[in-house]
């Protein structure tokens, strides 16, 4: 439970083993604050969700399901959700904190990147996206603002506020995310399976890394949408043919012809200097052999019995929550082993894990937006189902910034889309 103790003019707020500091962002559900572990002094990001607001929007079930899965995510290029602390009034999500800022700001500062640097960032992004897709999570709002950098300039995918579970035979119609990074089928209101929209967004990100500009951009929203639907974008002469072929495959307007993750991983340009830890080889083992330690961990985290986990695995349903959790744990062990071989164990574990022994009553999550983006970049498309819009907007955390702060970026081509904010601010 949160505690308050008076020290000087400002009260000190504590939750569990953490002291809460300055507010990083404010949203419909509550706030995102920086936290410090009282013993180790490691910093974390603490997202505070108001129970009453969550209940009023009828999203408790969705948040619970997604927290259960995201808590298990352990990938070197995905922001980690360490712990969930529950009080009668709020839910505190304890997440990894990184200090390097957004990839967006890095591009704004440096302009188009050297090809080797762009490729390094892109390889890390695809590794994280591949991990999400293999475990049935689609991000749906990938963009440089949601890609954070640590002090070593390693990418961390953040902001799963618009993420969704992938289910066989189920298609989505919700238009979400930022328009410049949205796939044609999304802005057209068509049905889509999920992974293909992340691929399109990654294609736009790759273009921004290489060119310092966006492939589809216009201050007039209808014109922007026409450009996206056309799939026609400028190709600078300085781009080599191999990366152009990859871009064209990823920015294919027909989702059925668009590159899949495996196509990207096998591409000649992507393979160059590819670190082995990003895509460790699957462990060959008899599928009938069940990892007892992994089963026990699932039982502990979900509060279920061993026979329930065994039943989920034997059912063959890849979308069963217990089966997903089991395979996540197995995958995490494999990635950790590969990272250790590459002497990246500290990087994999991250800089500020909470004490394992402390786990008060846990709800278990959904959308995580550990490092809220600035308000001028925070845009949702307008053609959404009303209930979905209410939910998505409620999960959006924003920074308070002055108009002067926003306009100072207009000198950079990639920033043209900031003017679109006015078209969506009333949504």
Q: Which residues are catalytic?
A: 141
**What does the buried/exposed string (b/e) look like for 121-155 if buried means 16 or more CB atoms within 10 Å of the residue's CB?**
bbbbbbbbbbbbbebbbbbbbbbbbbbbbbeeebb
Residues 177, 199: contact at Cβ < 8 Å?
no
Q: Which residues contact 273 (CB under 8 A, 6 or more apart)?
A: 116, 119, 120
Q: Which residues contact 369 (CB under 8 A, 6 or more apart)?
A: 25, 27, 32, 47, 158, 159, 160, 161, 395, 396, 397
C-alpha span between 180 and 378 (Å, rounded):
12
C-alpha span between 368 and 72 (Å, rounded):
13
C-alpha span between 386 and 383 (Å, rounded):
9
Q: Is 47 annotated as a binding residue?
A: yes
C-alpha span between 88 and 412 (Å, rounded):
46
Listed residue (174, 199, 302, 209) closest to 251, CA to CA: 199
Which two structure tokens, joined as six digits, stand for 85?
Answer: 């602390």
Residue 7 half-sphere exposure toward CB, CA atoms < 13 A: 7
What is the torsion angle, in degrees rounded to the nearest 10, for the CA atoms of residue 190, residue 385, residue 71 and residue 128? 30
Residue numbers belonging to the annotated binding site for ATP: 47
Residue numbers belonging to the annotated binding site: 47
């Amino acid at each position: 439970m949160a505690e308050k103790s008076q020290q000087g003019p400002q009260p000190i707020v504590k939750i569990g083993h953490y002291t809460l500091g300055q507010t990083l962002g404010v949203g419909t559900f509550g706030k995102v604050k920086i936290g410090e572990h009282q013993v180790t002094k490691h910093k974390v990001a603490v997202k505070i969700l108001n129970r009453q607001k969550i209940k009023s929007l009828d999203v408790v079930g969705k948040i619970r399901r997604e927290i259960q899965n995201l808590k298990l995510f352990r990938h070197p290029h995905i922001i980690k959700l360490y712990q969930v602390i529950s009080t009668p009034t709020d839910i505190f999500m304890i997440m990894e904190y990184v200090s390097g800022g957004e990839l967006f700001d890095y591009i704004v500062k440096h302009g188009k990147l050297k090809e080797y640097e762009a490729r390094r960032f892109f390889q890390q992004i695809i590794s994280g996206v591949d991990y999400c897709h293999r475990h049935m999570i689609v991000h749906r709002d990938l963009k440089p603002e949601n890609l954070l950098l640590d002090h070593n300039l390693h990418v961390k995918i953040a902001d799963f506020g618009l993420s969704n579970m992938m289910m066989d035979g189920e298609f989505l119609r919700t238009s979400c995310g930022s328009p410049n990074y949205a796939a044609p089928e999304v802005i057209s209101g068509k049905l889509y399976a999920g992974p293909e929209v992340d691929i399109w967004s990654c294609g736009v990100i790759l273009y921004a890394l290489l060119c310092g500009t966006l492939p589809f951009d216009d201050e007039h929203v209808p014109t922007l949408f026409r450009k996206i639907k056309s799939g026609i974008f400028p190709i600078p002469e300085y781009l080599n043919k191999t990366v152009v072929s990859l871009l064209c495959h990823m920015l294919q307007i027909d989702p059925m012809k668009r590159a899949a993750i495996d196509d990207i991983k096998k591409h000649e340009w992507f393979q160059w200097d590819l670190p082995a830890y990003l895509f460790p080889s699957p462990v060959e083992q008899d599928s009938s052999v069940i990892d007892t330690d992994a089963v026990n961990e699932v039982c502990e985290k979900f509060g279920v019995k061993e026979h329930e986990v065994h039943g989920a695995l034997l059912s063959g349903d890849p979308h069963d929550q217990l089966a997903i959790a089991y395979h996540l744990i197995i995958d995490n062990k494999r990635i950790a082993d590969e990272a250790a071989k590459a002497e990246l164990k500290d990087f994999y574990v991250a800089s500020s894990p909470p004490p394992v022994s402390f786990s008060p009553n846990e709800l278990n999550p959904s959308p995580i937006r550990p490092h809220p983006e600035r308000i001028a970049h925070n845009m949702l498309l307008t053609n959404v189902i009303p209930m979905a819009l209410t939910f998505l907007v409620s999960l959006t955390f924003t920074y308070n910034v002055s108009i002067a702060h926003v306009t100072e970026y207009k000198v950079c081509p990639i920033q043209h889309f900031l003017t679109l904010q006015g078209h969506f601010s009333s949504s």
